[in-house]
Amino acid sequence: MDINSSPPTGAPSYLDPAHFGPWGIYLQQVERVRPYLGELERWIETLRRPRRILIVDVPIHMDDGRIAHFEGYRVQHNTSRGPGKGGVRFHQDVTLSEVMALSAWMSVKNAAVNVPFGGAKGGVRVDPKTLSRNELERLTRRYTSEIGIIIGPNKDIPAPDVNTNEQVMAWMMDTYAMNEGSNATGVVTGKPVDLGGSLGRREATGRGVFTVGQAAARHIGMDVSKSRVAVQGFGNVGSVSAKLFALAGARVVAVQDHQHTIYAEAGLDIPALMAHAVRGDALNDFPGAQVLGQDQFWDVDCDIMIPAALEQQITATNAARIKARMIIEGANGPTTPEADDILQARNVLVVPDVIANAGGVTVSYFEWVQDFSSFFWSEDEINARLVRIMQEAFAVIWQVAQDKQVSLRTATFIVGCTRILHARDLRGLYP
């Protein structure tokens, strides 16, 4: 069905083209891969319909005695290849459309790197900066209890995402264990190492961004050591990506967070900037950096741009301004389909999120395996396994892009969706 056509009478609302936003973007991406699915195309509605959507009320006692209610979600997009896998975000702008899209991108991402997971995602619409630590714990535990009916080590495994971290995962794991009456370290990943977390998990997504970025640069004849890099978002993914590119000799000339954009033609001192951010200091106070307007970020003269913030940052309104030769998507869904077309017409290589930021879920898979076996690997072993898997996955995707003469995003969807639908076809329908 054409995404721009009207849905059949009685079709679910999430197939209605009026329901755009992130989910609408995902549906457009699926339509672009349809011609390459062959006989598996008959299963395409599997990709267009989430398997399970859970919307929950999350009431908690606030410190001042009030009872506040928050809306939470857990979406399992597809579990044909294994249990659902995907993060949980706490953000004031979380919507069902966003969580649906993120769960679907997780399905494609997990299949693209060939780890045995399906796709899932969760979120609570809340600004965690307005909560005390005790309120945040109560929110996390209540949300976990509400979604506990569909998560589990062999059912659906949450992980950190925007505004959630190792501590939040520890609370989720403990809540699930208390409700189940038994320990279950594998119910979440991204936990503290002392509770069954994996070494290397914290830097894994950024390391994956760097790994596939290096591989892509070689294919287009770009010398990373002589490149200029601009990074949007200086959280875990953006900061680690910036650090690794800087260690490889690149100049990180611009960094943007949700408040400020800074620039230095000679390159920013990334370790110092990371320490600056950890102290809670604002980017615009970083010594020696020029402060730019937020919109000026898209005009920065650079070779590599890494959007590592939120969805829909690169759009039809700013894509033509970008000077980079290559964009590596550290965030999920940062580029709209219209912007994709503009960038492709300008010969800007876009390394899509569904392969570029798959390092985090790859090491989450390692953590899950280690928890089941109660045998843990060294950080060097983790990093070596991560790099090998990411390089092998990118090589397959690059070859598909060349053979089919399509973008890397479409090539990644061809690989991922084919694996998902092949598993669906093999399993058949029950009953």
pLDDT digits (tens, 9 = 90+) for 114-152: 999 999 999 999 999 999 999 999 999 999 999 999 999
Residue 356 has pLDDT above 60, yes or no: yes
Mean pLDDT over 333-357 rounds to 94
CA 298/CA 46 separation, integer angstroms: 37
CA 185/CA 119 separation, integer angstroms: 20
Kindly list the catalytic residues: 121
Superfamily covering domain 50-183: Leucine Dehydrogenase, chain A, domain 1 (3.40.50.10860)
The pLDDT assigned to 16 comes to 55
Specify whether the CB–CB gap between 208 and 354 falls below 8 A: no
- Bridge partners (DSSP) listed for residue 78: 119
Look at residues 140, 9, 15 and name the one whose alpha carbon lies nearest to residue 70: 140
Mean pLDDT over 62-82 rounds to 98
Pull the structure tokens for residue 67.
């009872």
Specify whether the CB–CB gap between 427 and 80 falls below 8 A: yes
Residue 168 has pLDDT above 60, yes or no: yes
pTM of the entire structure?
A: 0.91
Sign of the torsion angle spanned by Cα atoms 300, 233, 295, 17: positive
Q: Do domains 50-183 and 202-356 have the same CATH topology?
A: yes
CB atoms within 10 A of CB 72: 24
At 212-247, the pLDDT tens digits run 999 999 999 999 999 999 999 998 899 999 999 999
The pLDDT assigned to 14 comes to 56
CA 186/CA 371 separation, integer angstroms: 6
Sorted by where each begins, the domain ranges of the chain are 1-49, 50-183, 202-356
The structure tokens 């964009």 sit at 327
At 389-400, the pLDDT tens digits run 999 999 999 999
Options 3.30.720.110, 3.40.50.300, 3.40.309.10, 3.40.50.720; CATH for 202-356 is: 3.40.50.720
The pLDDT assigned to 4 comes to 44
